[in-house]
Each structure stands twice: as structure tokens, then as C-alpha cells.
A and B are shown apart, each in its own frame.
Chain A
């Protein structure tokens, strides 16, 4: 079993819908990252969290350290949000463990 589990694996939404992607992890962490990989392959770091909640535009990321769970929310989704979203945790030993990614498709 992977130490970082994401759900769902694939997600299709209509433009404007509210989207939630979940990430659960089983190791002790010092930080959690949400990454976005565009269809062209490039990877962008969206958020780095160690506690609480962060917001950037239409994106919101939350983390519950006690429950070892994080969520990435996208409000008013748009076709340009279509990408693979990857959860990654930095363990206390400073190595990174990645989830398998959630492929999001937003249809107009």
C-alpha cells in the first residue's frame, strides 16, 4: 500500500462545479505539497502546508495533521483547471513521498 493515497484517481466535472480531491498519508510528515501537472507535462507547486488552510485564488488547501488528511478544493472550476493534481508529503526524514495523482477533466 502506498504511503500517500489520493482519491479519486480520475474526476470529470462540468465547468463551474466545486471540486474536492483528497489525500491521506500514513507517515509522520513535516509538510504536505499539492502539485499540478499540466497536460504538457510541466509541474507547478500549488501549496505547501504544515497546518490549517491556505487559499490562492479559486484554490483552497486544507490539512488535518491529527487525521493525516488533506484536501484540495477548486471553486468555480474551469476547463483550464484540467490537469493531474499530485499530493506529496515530506517525511520527517526529509524525503518526499508522492501520491499517484488525480486526473481532473473539466468540461465546458
Chain B
């Protein structure tokens, strides 16, 4: 069983569209994250979320919004997609606490045309 699964693996879409990437973890973790990896392979945190608190990286446009229907899911919604949104997006989870190991999903490669 995949610990952290995200879908789709590839997403190709037109500018201006709205899209979602789903993430699910079966590890019983309390905290989930979204990261963006740009074309230079540089990772940046976008959001971290547990059942108490959403922490947003202030550099993330408000077109991006995380939605958590329950503790095991953190989906990423993106409105009005732009060319610069093209990147690989990784979901991850961990137990709550600064010393906990991260478990990553396999990534979603988003291409905005």
C-alpha cells in the first residue's frame, strides 16, 4: 500500500483553467504539506496543515488553496492557472512535531499551456 498517494501523476491544462490535485495518506499522520518543485528542481513549501492550523507560505498566490475534507486528505486547488504554475507538486505528511520524518507522495507534474 502506498503511504502517501497523490493523483494525477501528470496534469496538462490550458491557462485560465481551474484544477485540483488530490493527496491521501494512510499513515495516520496529523500534518500534511504541499511543496512546489520548480524547473531548477528547487523545492519550496507551499502549505502545512494539521487539524488545528493552516500555515501558508506568504509567497503563494491566493489562487492556490488547500482543502482538507479529513485528516487523511489534503487536496490542492488551483484557480486561473498561469504558465508560471508549471512545476512538480509534492504532497507529504508527518506526525505533528518538528522532529518528525517526512513521507512524500510521488509528485504531480503540472504543465500549463
Choice from A43, A48, A94 contacting B90 with Cβ under 8 Å: A43
A41 pairs with B45, CB closer than 8 A: no
User: Does more than half of chain A's interface fall in helix, strand or loop, or is it mixed?
Assistant: strand
Chain A positions within 8 Å of B99 at CB level: 30-31, 48, 50
Chain A positions within 8 Å of B104 at CB level: 35, 42-45
Chain B positions within 8 Å of A84 at CB level: 41
B side interface size, CB within 8 A? 24
A100 pairs with B45, CB closer than 8 A: no
B101 pairs with A100, CB closer than 8 A: no
Binding site for B on A (CB under 8 A): 30-31, 33, 35, 37, 41-45, 48, 50, 84, 86, 88, 90, 92, 94-96, 98, 100-101
B103 pairs with A45, CB closer than 8 A: yes
B42 pairs with A100, CB closer than 8 A: yes
A95 pairs with B45, CB closer than 8 A: yes
B101 pairs with A48, CB closer than 8 A: yes
- Contact string against A for B residues 57-70, beta-carbon threshold 8 Å, 1 for contact and 0 otherwise: 10000000000000
B57 pairs with A101, CB closer than 8 A: no
B1 contacts the other chain (CB 8 A): no
A43 pairs with B98, CB closer than 8 A: no
Q: Which residue of A lies closest to B98 (CB)?
A: A30
B88 contacts the other chain (CB 8 A): yes
